[in-house]
Amino acid sequence: MPNFPEEHVEYGRVIDFKNALLRKAAQTFLADSAHTDRSAFDVFCQNNNDWLDDYALFMACKRVYKEVAWANWDPGIRQRDSAALKEWQEKLSSEIETHKFAQFEFFRQWETLRTHCRGCGISIMGDIPIYVAHDSADVWAHPELFRLNEQGGPTAIAGVPPDYFSATGQLWGNPLYRWNVSAASGHRWWIDRFRASLKLFDLVRLDHFRGFEAFWEVPAEASTAAEGKWVKGPGAEFFRTSQTELKELPFIAENLGVITPEVEALRKQFGFPGMSLLQFAFGNDPQGPTFRPHNYSRELVAYTGGHDNDTTVGWWTSSGVGESTRSAEDIREERDFTRAYLGFQNEPVNWIFIRTVLASVANIAIIPLQDVLGLGSDARMNLPGTLVGNWKWRYKPSALTQAIREQLRTLTGLYDR
């Protein structure tokens, strides 16, 4: 076992280490046609062939092309010519089976975990980002659903305008959808995506929910998201179709950012709980008043902060200048208002925030582990608009001391959580 660092994840080393083990396990498994799990593997492949075949071929081709983006592959396989697909499937059959085995193992282990959680009364909430990566099996296998040029590159990309997080907006780079084509198919790709996620999770957060009402369209050649414009999304028709197919939509709407009355009307029409981040309650965010606990509704998921925020301690102690559209004066006023509203002086700000969220009327309260541990900006999970250094924080079990556990247990019981 390599000596991985305890404080953060070194993804390159972890991926290399795990891939080597998965390949070894796959070779052993696939070489034994009488393996006791062989029938379960065959059933898994059959039940998931609507996405698994394309995914496994895509990953096998990526290895041949040394991870080069699919839009730069040879024309035949890039454009999914039927003869080219058959040729590559035959040539890479062993590699394809290896990738299918890795998926089989993941889903089997995940189901074991989920069954255990159910037995403990624990629900798992997952996430469906509204957009997918351009260099993905989804876009390669369904190019008709995305706004691409003849070479497979995006003609328009996703992002958001300047906001609390970034003075130039966020340029995500994901290809935008051809919603008219999606609608013509009855939104089949989306419904399959929803159905697959609901097999994994009890609740699903729709990331960037506002994009279903209207999305920020940026020309592919733009240098910043500030060059974009708002364009109407699929709206209620999309969710009506999804509801007809799936019956129940246990979704939580990530309704943060530039939220309009139309976005909130769409959310309420389908009964999706929204989100509230306490860190956003005290500044000059137009949504600020709705993030203050005295304005909470019960149909709400309340957070101290989210994965795109600094930790609560980091937010409270950092200057903030250069990280968002806030000025030094804005930050001073924000902190003064925070103290006045929450009525505290020198108590640990993370526990003030935790108590406030748990004491609220919101049906669901979520506390990032970094806030429970009282960690600063070094433990921040993600900085929007940046490409490196994110999602690396790693939890050490020894950090959750007896005193912290007792404090969290006390507040959880006190407020009937």
Strands 214-219 and 156-160: antiparallel
CB neighbourhood size of 69 (10 A): 16
Q: Is 111 a catalytic residue?
A: no
Please tell me the distance from the alpha carbon of residue 397 to that of residue 6, in angstroms, as a whole number: 10
Q: Which of 105, 207, 217, 245 is catalytic?
A: 207
Helices (H), 133-246: 137-141, 179-184, 188-200, 236-246
Helix, strand, coil tally for the chain in percent (to 5): 50, 15, 35
Q: Is 254 a catalytic residue?
A: yes
Strands 125-129 and 203-207: parallel
Q: Is 207 a catalytic residue?
A: yes
As given in the structure block, the two tokens for residue 367 are 């506390």
Please tell me the distance from the alpha carbon of residue 237 to that of residue 243, in angstroms, as a whole number: 10
As given in the structure block, the two tokens for residue 100 are 């299918």
Q: Which of 97, 138, 213, 254 is catalytic?
A: 254
Q: Which of 308, 310, 323, 371 is catalytic?
A: 308
125-129: strand order across its sheet: 125-129, 203-207, 251-253
Residues identified as active-site:
207, 254, 308
